[in-house]
Every structure is written in structure tokens, then in C-alpha cells.
Amino acid sequence: MCFVINSGVVYAKNTLFIYCRSGRRSKEASAKLAALGYTNIIEIGWILDWDGEIEVGVSE
């Protein structure tokens, strides 16, 4: 499993939105982050259910 964090340091108090393509990896990642002390985890689940807009690319 690979975690990609574009903004550098992520503090345990920050809100994290976790998602993946199918939902299985986001559930695992959320559990691991919680075990590491992160408390503000919002597991979106799988991105295939998302019906909103999707922004492609990395904003600076």
C-alpha cells in the first residue's frame, strides 16, 4: 500500500479525506491512520460512487 501526500507534513489534527477506486484500500488506510493517532479521518470510500466534479492534476 502506498500513501501519497502532496503537501508534505500531515499533522494528526488535520482532516484527511481517504478514497480509492474500489473502497477496500481506503478502508485499510483509514484503519492504519487511526492506529497511528490520526483522529479526523473521513473515509469517502470508493471514487466510482462520486457523482460530483473531479479535478484532474495537482494544484499549487
Global pTM value: 0.63
pLDDT tens, position by position, for the chain (60 residues)? Answer: 445 555 556 677 788 888 888 888 889 989 988 888 888 999 887 877 777 777 776 655
Q: Determine contact, residues 22/46, Cβ cutoff 8 Å.
A: yes
Residue 11 parent element (H or E): none
d(CA 25, CA 53): 22
